[in-house]
Chain A
């Protein structure tokens, strides 16, 4: 009500002044205005707040949902209806609103919470950060800016790794290395599916490392994961890793965008997600190159390396592997759910080419 009543009060005052200074009127209006400022005034919280006049007036789920999806649409927020859907459902303790009755009545605390989250979304923050959590396969993981939000393609990578672990690796207690763990999605989903597995996760960002640990703790997987904070390419981390025994499997979702591509991204990615988790250098292959070079020393014979890459990169990577002349070779490129070449599968061969 704030701004509207403010304007109304001002109009009344000017009218009264114009009409002549009849003390009766003046005193009441002055009282009203001063009351307004002491009781009702709140500083505008975020963009577009002033027009949210009716936001807490309706209490029905359907109306709240429609109100916010229209609002997102008018503010050019991507996926307007879906965003509103997730936020409303999240506040009511569900994943999506499809299981809820559209006529459910919301109480004031729920409406307040929805409004609070929706205001965050209005700033362009990705839904995953707004909710503070997102689903990855069977897991629900905490999401916090600026740690990279796992994409659906990465879920497929996790499934492929699980398949390899269950079918092709015959070690009783395997240890897997993840390079660039981010929120820990890949490591934790592997740990969840394979009860005897242990994971060593490396990430350069301290916030990512702490988020991985937090997620591991909340899922009860703390005792089987070891998080190392540091640059994978640095000698220090390499030394630490080489002290461990050779890994049967390495998995990574490295940054693979070219620096040029970074500028053309959605604003919600550009403004909120950590660029170091996305930027793969001029050709997008900086980190991928490092991994391919270092992997043979870390893998055991016949060990596997699974990596998510950009859809145009597989031919370049194939050439890279050939040129590097080490024991590793690219054995398959798997298409993702959307039909793009996305996931590369490498294996370390028995006979070294180097010799």
Chain B
């Protein structure tokens, strides 16, 4: 059994004492284990307890046999059960001395001094939002009718609440600081402690405020279809494609998502031309949206005889699955073509051709289905396909808009742009968007904590970028109003 985080290898435990020796090893060497490893240990522990409780007179050997029968593969293939995906929960079940050694909470978090109350521009930006909120309260707009304005109003309300709380806490800090003038040593110690406590709270609220300001992407909670295709580089690209595919599958297991609808085109030497998978679960799109793009790999391929380093690419696309609510198609915008159109229909005729073609008139999108014997079923499938097609178009459009306004450097998902480089020779993964380097490539390719850390850093990066663009547009507006007033 291998831990993703510390890469140390444990013997598979078959008895409680084996398990305890593993715990002891973790404790003595202070190994930082991954939540997945922690979960596996817990599963084994509960299985062991079950076996012992079930048959009290069971000999040690028979328990060992039972555990071996549940082969190592079983424990490796385990998806993470939701509560265990939460590291703090699973840690609480482990022996107390191991608890402190789980690494999940020691992740990097980005902090920027730009978005704290120390920055006057940021503060004035926040004040402008509060003013807008106050204006909106007095404006008396019919929010039931206007969805856009309603959304904006709810956003402002949340922001203002958060800002008010922030101001309150900050006020307390200032008050305490003024009390520092008093020269009572004991008093000073107490006040110091309190100030530190309050500052921590202020930081937490600041972080929350950032989340509120950035908001959630409406597609974040959707399930996705992921397509991994070998790009430039022939056999080597296909080999790497297979590795990436495995990495995402592991990552899905790591996050407790389900992977279905696999279609894989494999070649003779174990590479993959193209793999399409459907991933369902909680906020899948939120985590995997940054994976879309061109992944570049630099290494000496297995197929290379002369030992030269090759550069190959693999493209990944991530499409959210549309839900029914998203697309509103008016029936009069559709033309439905069937082979039963002419004639009186009903009991007058018996036709078996059940093919259906639907044309969406405003966009000219065509969708066809003839797989089923029931015409209604065919129509439903055709409608579903049409919705997916339209949704893709809408998504692309939205994406374009977002690109323009957010000035994000994530790119347009075009094939010419690389998003990440895997350099095996230097054991380095570089993400070209956040310009961050990660090491320990073999661990990363297992799709566990390493990838999760990268995803988190990208998420943080995008948030800050978005906030920066908000602040930028605010400052330019202010300078413009100033110049107009001046003239």
Q: In the bound complex, do residue A135 and residue B373 qualify as a contact, i.e. CB atoms below 8 Å apart?
A: yes
A106 within 8 A of partner (CB): no
A116 within 8 A of partner (CB): no
A269: chain B residues at CB < 8 Å are: 349-350
How far apart sit A140 and B13, CA to CA, in the bound complex (Å)? 51
Q: Which residues of B contact A (CB under 8 A)?
A: 336, 338, 340-341, 344-354, 370-377, 379
With A79-B353, A135-B377, A337-B336 already in contact, the answer to whether A99 and B348 are too (CB < 8 A) is no
For window 172-220 of A, CB contacts with B under 8 Å fall at none
1/0 contact string of A66-81 vs chain B (CB within 8 Å): 0000000000001100
A268 within 8 A of partner (CB): yes
Q: CB within 8 A of B345: which of A99, A134, A340?
A: A340
Closest to B340 in A: A338
Q: In the bound complex, do residue B347 and residue A255 qualify as a contact, i.e. CB atoms below 8 Å apart?
A: yes
With A152-B354, A337-B336 already in contact, the answer to whether A342 and B370 are too (CB < 8 A) is no
Q: In the bound complex, do residue B348 and residue A257 qualify as a contact, i.e. CB atoms below 8 Å apart?
A: yes
A136: chain B residues at CB < 8 Å are: 374
Majority secondary structure of chain B interface residues (helix, strand, loop or mixed): loop
How far apart sit A340 and B341, CA to CA, in the bound complex (Å)? 9
A156 within 8 A of partner (CB): yes
Q: In the bound complex, do residue A155 and residue B376 qualify as a contact, i.e. CB atoms below 8 Å apart?
A: yes
Q: In the bound complex, do residue A308 and residue B338 qualify as a contact, i.e. CB atoms below 8 Å apart?
A: no
Minimum C-beta distance from A260 to chain B (A): 12
Beyond contacts A79-B351, A135-B373, A155-B375: 16 other A-B pairs, Cβ-Cβ < 8 A, are A79-B352, A96-B370, A96-B371, A98-B370, A127-B352, A137-B377, A152-B354, A156-B376, A265-B348, A266-B349, A278-B347, A308-B346, A310-B344, A310-B347, A311-B344, A340-B344
B379: chain A residues at CB < 8 Å are: 337
With A127-B352, A337-B336, A338-B340 already in contact, the answer to whether A95 and B346 are too (CB < 8 A) is no
For window 298-328 of A, CB contacts with B under 8 Å fall at 308, 310-311
Q: In the bound complex, do residue B345 and residue A311 qualify as a contact, i.e. CB atoms below 8 Å apart?
A: yes
Q: In the bound complex, do residue B374 and residue A137 qualify as a contact, i.e. CB atoms below 8 Å apart?
A: yes
Q: In the bound complex, do residue B374 and residue A338 qualify as a contact, i.e. CB atoms below 8 Å apart?
A: no
Q: CB within 8 A of B374: which of A98, A152, A261?
A: A152
1/0 contact string of A248-278 vs chain B (CB within 8 Å): 0000000111000100011011000100011
Closest to B356 in A: A337
Closest to A277 in B: B347
Q: In the bound complex, do residue A128 and residue B352 qualify as a contact, i.e. CB atoms below 8 Å apart?
A: yes
1/0 contact string of A274-287 vs chain B (CB within 8 Å): 00011000000000
Minimum C-beta distance from A133 to chain B (A): 9
Q: In the bound complex, do residue B375 and residue A96 qualify as a contact, i.e. CB atoms below 8 Å apart?
A: no
How far apart sit A269 and B348, CA to CA, in the bound complex (Å)? 8
Q: In the bound complex, do residue B338 and residue A337 qualify as a contact, i.e. CB atoms below 8 Å apart?
A: yes
Q: CB within 8 A of A135: which of B340, B348, B372?
A: B372
What's the interface size class on A, roughly? 35 or more
A63 within 8 A of partner (CB): no
A120 within 8 A of partner (CB): no
A159 within 8 A of partner (CB): yes
Q: In the bound complex, do residue B374 and residue A153 qualify as a contact, i.e. CB atoms below 8 Å apart?
A: no
How far apart sit A106 and B373, CA to CA, in the bound complex (Å)? 22
Q: In the bound complex, do residue B350 and residue A266 qualify as a contact, i.e. CB atoms below 8 Å apart?
A: yes
For window 154-178 of A, CB contacts with B under 8 Å fall at 155-156, 159
How far apart sit A159 and B350, CA to CA, in the bound complex (Å)? 20
Q: CB within 8 A of B350: which of A151, A255, A339?
A: A151
B336: chain A residues at CB < 8 Å are: 337
With A137-B374, A152-B354, A155-B374 already in contact, the answer to whether A261 and B348 are too (CB < 8 A) is yes
Closest to B369 in A: A98
Q: In the bound complex, do residue B350 and residue A268 qualify as a contact, i.e. CB atoms below 8 Å apart?
A: yes
How far apart sit A338 and B373, CA to CA, in the bound complex (Å)? 17
Closest to B344 in A: A311
How far apart sit A99 and B372, CA to CA, in the bound complex (Å)? 10
B340: chain A residues at CB < 8 Å are: 152, 337-338
With A265-B348, A266-B349, A311-B346 already in contact, the answer to whether A338 and B338 are too (CB < 8 A) is yes
How far apart sit A342 and B345, CA to CA, in the bound complex (Å)? 9
Minimum C-beta distance from A108 to chain B (A): 26
Minimum C-beta distance from A166 to chain B (A): 16
A296 within 8 A of partner (CB): no
Most buried by B among A128, A152, A273, A278: A152
B345: chain A residues at CB < 8 Å are: 151, 153, 311, 336, 338, 340, 342
B376: chain A residues at CB < 8 Å are: 137, 152, 155-156, 159, 337
Q: CB within 8 A of A95: which of B348, B350, B372?
A: B372
A342: chain B residues at CB < 8 Å are: 345-346
A261: chain B residues at CB < 8 Å are: 348
A128: chain B residues at CB < 8 Å are: 350, 352
How far apart sit A22 and B121, CA to CA, in the bound complex (Å)? 121
How far apart sit A6 and B344, CA to CA, in the bound complex (Å)? 49
A221 within 8 A of partner (CB): no
B373: chain A residues at CB < 8 Å are: 86, 95-96, 134-135
B346: chain A residues at CB < 8 Å are: 151, 153, 256, 308, 310-311, 336, 340, 342
A241: chain B residues at CB < 8 Å are: none
How far apart sit A82 and B378, CA to CA, in the bound complex (Å)? 15
How far apart sit A256 and B345, CA to CA, in the bound complex (Å)? 12
6 cross-chain pairs, A with B, having the tightest CB-CB distances, nearest first = A152-B375, A135-B373, A135-B374, A155-B376, A82-B353, A127-B352
A329 within 8 A of partner (CB): no
A337: chain B residues at CB < 8 Å are: 336, 338, 340, 375-376, 379
With A95-B373, A135-B373, A311-B345 already in contact, the answer to whether A83 and B350 are too (CB < 8 A) is no
B351: chain A residues at CB < 8 Å are: 78-79
A292 within 8 A of partner (CB): no
Closest to B374 in A: A135
B354: chain A residues at CB < 8 Å are: 152
A333 within 8 A of partner (CB): no
How far apart sit A228 and B354, CA to CA, in the bound complex (Å)? 32
A308: chain B residues at CB < 8 Å are: 346
How far apart sit A137 and B376, CA to CA, in the bound complex (Å)? 7
How far apart sit A257 and B375, CA to CA, in the bound complex (Å)? 22
Minimum C-beta distance from B40 to chain A (A): 40
How far apart sit A82 and B375, CA to CA, in the bound complex (Å)? 14
Minimum C-beta distance from A65 to chain B (A): 15
Q: In the bound complex, do residue A95 and residue B344 qualify as a contact, i.e. CB atoms below 8 Å apart?
A: no
How far apart sit A134 and B352, CA to CA, in the bound complex (Å)? 10
B374: chain A residues at CB < 8 Å are: 135-137, 152, 155
A155: chain B residues at CB < 8 Å are: 374-376
Q: List 8 A-B contacts (CB under 8 A).
A: A79-B353, A95-B372, A151-B346, A152-B375, A256-B346, A308-B346, A337-B375, A338-B340
Q: In the bound complex, do residue A96 and residue B372 qualify as a contact, i.e. CB atoms below 8 Å apart?
A: yes
How far apart sit A268 and B350, CA to CA, in the bound complex (Å)? 8
Minimum C-beta distance from A267 to chain B (A): 10
Closest to B379 in A: A337
How far apart sit A320 and B298, CA to CA, in the bound complex (Å)? 81
A135: chain B residues at CB < 8 Å are: 372-374, 377
Minimum C-beta distance from A342 to chain B (A): 6
How far apart sit A79 and B351, CA to CA, in the bound complex (Å)? 8
A291 within 8 A of partner (CB): no
How far apart sit A277 and B347, CA to CA, in the bound complex (Å)? 9
